Amino acid sequence: MTTTTIRLILGDQLNLQHSWFSDVADDKLYVFMEVRQETDYVLHHAQKIIAIFAAMREMARQLSAQGHRVHYLRIDDPANLHSIPANIDLLVAQEKAQRVEYQMPDEWRLDEQLYHHSRQAAIPWVMVDSEHFLTTRHQAADIFAARKQWLMEHFYRQMRVQHQVLMEGSKPVGGQWNYDHDNRKAWRGTPAEPVDRRPLHDHSALWQEIVAAGVQSFGEPHEKQSRWALNREEALEQLTIFIDFGLPHFGDFQDAMSTKAWRLFHSLLSFALNVKMLSPREVIQRAEEAYHTGRVPLAAAEGFIRQILGWREYIRGVYWAHMPAYAEKNFFDHQRPLPAWFWTGKTKMNCLSHAIGQSLEQAHAHHIQRLMVIGNFSLLAGLDPHAVHQWYLGVYIDAFEWVELPNTMGMSQFADGGLLATKPYVSSAAYIDKMSDYCKGCHYDKKSRLGDDACPFNALYWDFFDRNRQKLANNPRIGMAYRQLEKMDDKAIADFQQQAQKIIDRIETL
């Protein structure tokens, strides 16, 4: 059997709807590979490695069942060179292939690697579209080319109009574009968190292969009871369940946090979306349809759609416009390493213990836990933003660099100096207490600013603004913080500085 074209499928390109698969052709060979290049470039959560490998194997099985020719390199295959280009070159020689095709990678490092290798190859290497996103790589940059600042809201409105989502002609349904202010309720136990209806998978044999191959990881593997989508069918069922049971309350409680419910009303679809089992178009359409048929409130549908049509596409645009320099940004010159409890969750701060502990247990935390608990502390405490980025990239099952890096470096750590976010997203204990039950029973007192039992967020918050006056004082979005600082006398500020230093000095035992 002659192979003329090898087609590479990366671990986040599990899109059975791609036009590649519309015809079965004997001269096309589809290649999947489990390589140390991808497991080792950052330390990953065990569930992330398991879920991606399991989904890759399942897609390879489905393609084979459809009659496509498939070559699958497992992590423990003796012929595996653990480099994507090296494995492809070996296969080209074995198959006497005349052409290599690959879908557009979403991560800059892979795009660079495959592009530079293709320039040196003896046969054509051709990149095709992944057929997933609603925008091109550089569409956001084109939109903002004539504007001084990138603002997601401007981009989002253009997307709504272009794709006619929640629109009545040229006007938004309901008369306003954004219902964010309606979506900030704390959750006090009702309505109840929906039952987790995702199927269970036993990946213990796969996990044994991964461990035996020497792959390092962290976090709880849950290898015998994995609930992450294995294929498109499961992802579609999960989408239906979310639309029916989660989305009606998602808007109200999308920013809420609780020790009693880790999922609340979130979809948990980001893994399936980011490995492309689902398309953003179909997810948006389902949410919009649920609003139009009266099953969900407008604020819930709009808030969910904004995350996908607005934020997800916008973040990708930021990434491709500013890489590779974006990864090295460090506006505040923060250098402090991560405390050891980032890898254990063992801290007396209840909010961080829960948010980090959940991340290690579930490989997932929602956006407010990532931004206003873990990210908030990291920024206030002056942790190295690149170290924070690598932790986020490794710990979360949905974290691929194109979406994680701008969220972490820009939105969370303000390392880009305000390119992405209009202000640093920091708070004292008051915000965390308002949106969660984390402060109840905590070792630290949410209302105290000074002393051994005072919540570390309080002194760190004021010290952060005080030591960054030169860089932040003219930012109109945080004027209130500086007006309050101006009212404080020198002793009060000195007390905050001293308290903050004590916190930093004992950061490992907080």
Nearest-Å Rg of the Cα atoms of the chain is 24
Per-residue confidence (pLDDT) for residue 393, from 0 to 100: 98
Biggest CA-to-CA distance, the chain: 82
- Give the relative orientation of helices 232-241 and 280-292 as an angle to the nearest 10 degrees: 30
What is d(CA 171, CA 160) in angstroms, rounded to the nearest whole number?
A: 10
Q: Which helix (H) or strand (E) holds 90?
A: helix 84-95
Per-residue confidence (pLDDT) for residue 1, from 0 to 100: 62
Is residue 88 within 8 Å of 7, Cβ to Cβ? no
Please indicate, yes or no, whether residues 190 and 301 belong to a single structural domain of this protein.
Answer: yes
Per-residue confidence (pLDDT) for residue 329, from 0 to 100: 96
Tell me: pLDDT of 423 over 70.
Answer: yes
Is residue 269 within 8 Å of 251, Cβ to Cβ? no
Tell me: pLDDT of 435 over 70.
Answer: yes
How many CA atoms within 13 Å lie on the side-chain side of 450? Answer: 8
3-state class of 71 per DSSP? strand
Per-residue confidence (pLDDT) for residue 312, from 0 to 100: 97
Concatenate the DSSP letters of all residues of 410-479 into one string: IIIT-TTSSSS-SS-----HHHHHHH-STTTT-SSBTT--SSTTB-HHHHHHHHHHHHTHHHHTT-GGGH
Q: Across all residues in the chain, what is the average pLDDT?
A: 95
Residue 117 lies in a domain: yes
Please indicate, yes or no, whether residues 199 and 275 belong to a single structural domain of this protein.
Answer: yes
Q: Which residue range(s) make up the domain with 101?
A: 5-128
Residue 122 lies in a domain: yes
Per-residue confidence (pLDDT) for residue 184, from 0 to 100: 78
What is d(CA 493, CA 377) in angstroms, rounded to the nearest whole number?
A: 20
Please indicate, yes or no, whether residues 259 and 351 belong to a single structural domain of this protein.
Answer: no
Please indicate, yes or no, whether residues 189 and 64 belong to a single structural domain of this protein.
Answer: no
State pLDDT tens for residues 252-301. 999 999 999 999 999 999 999 999 999 999 999 999 999 999 999 999 99
The number of residues making up the chain comes to: 510
pLDDT band at 420 (very low <50, low <70, confident <90, very high): confident
State pLDDT tens for residues 299-341. 999 999 999 999 999 999 999 999 999 999 999 999 999 999 9
Give the pairing of strands 171-172 and 167-168. antiparallel
Number of domains comprising the chain: 3
What are the residues whose beta carbons fall under 8 Å from the beta carbon of 327, sequence distance 6 or more? 386, 389, 405, 409
Among the three residues 287, 322, 357, which one is the final residue of a domain in this structure? 322
Per-residue confidence (pLDDT) for residue 427, from 0 to 100: 94
Residue 133 lies in a domain: no
What is d(CA 395, CA 390) in angstroms, rounded to the nearest whole number?
A: 9
Angle at 196 between CA 301 and CA 252, to 5 degrees: 30
Please indicate, yes or no, whether residues 152 and 69 belong to a single structural domain of this protein.
Answer: no
Residue 468 lies in a domain: yes
Tokens in use for 192?
Answer: 């109840």
Please indicate, yes or no, whether residues 353 and 310 belong to a single structural domain of this protein.
Answer: no
Residue 327 lies in a domain: no
Instruction: Return the bridge partners of 383, or none.
Output: 336
Please count the other Cβ atoms lying within 10 Å of the Cβ belonging to residue 380: 25
Please indicate, yes or no, whether residues 178 and 105 belong to a single structural domain of this protein.
Answer: no
Average pLDDT (395-403) is 97
Tell me: pLDDT of 454 over 80.
Answer: yes
State pLDDT tens for residues 366-383. 999 999 999 999 999 999
Residue 331 lies in a domain: no
State pLDDT tens for residues 80-130. 999 999 999 999 999 999 999 999 999 999 999 999 999 999 999 999 999
Per-residue confidence (pLDDT) for residue 306, from 0 to 100: 95
State pLDDT tens for residues 7-61. 999 999 999 999 999 999 999 999 999 999 999 999 999 999 999 999 999 999 9
Per-residue confidence (pLDDT) for residue 148, from 0 to 100: 75
Please indicate, yes or no, whether residues 163 and 244 belong to a single structural domain of this protein.
Answer: yes
What is d(CA 60, CA 52) in angstroms, rounded to the nearest whole number?
A: 12
CATH number of the domain at 109, please. 3.40.50.620
Tell me: pLDDT of 150 over 90.
Answer: no
Please indicate, yes or no, whether residues 167 and 264 belong to a single structural domain of this protein.
Answer: yes
Q: What is the pTM of this model?
A: 0.95
Please indicate, yes or no, whether residues 122 and 150 belong to a single structural domain of this protein.
Answer: no
Among the three residues 84, 105, 128, which one is the final residue of a domain in this structure? 128
Per-residue confidence (pLDDT) for residue 456, from 0 to 100: 96
Please count the other Cβ atoms lying within 10 Å of the Cβ belonging to residue 67: 10
Per-residue confidence (pLDDT) for residue 181, from 0 to 100: 77
Residue 207 lies in a domain: yes
Please indicate, yes or no, whether residues 68 and 156 belong to a single structural domain of this protein.
Answer: no
Q: Which helix (H) or strand (E) holds 30?
A: strand 28-33
Per-residue confidence (pLDDT) for residue 364, from 0 to 100: 97
Tell me: pLDDT of 149 over 90.
Answer: no
Among the three residues 276, 293, 322, which one is the final residue of a domain in this structure? 322
Residue 150 lies in a domain: yes
CATH number of the domain at 481, please. 1.10.579.10
Please indicate, yes or no, whether residues 312 and 355 belong to a single structural domain of this protein.
Answer: no
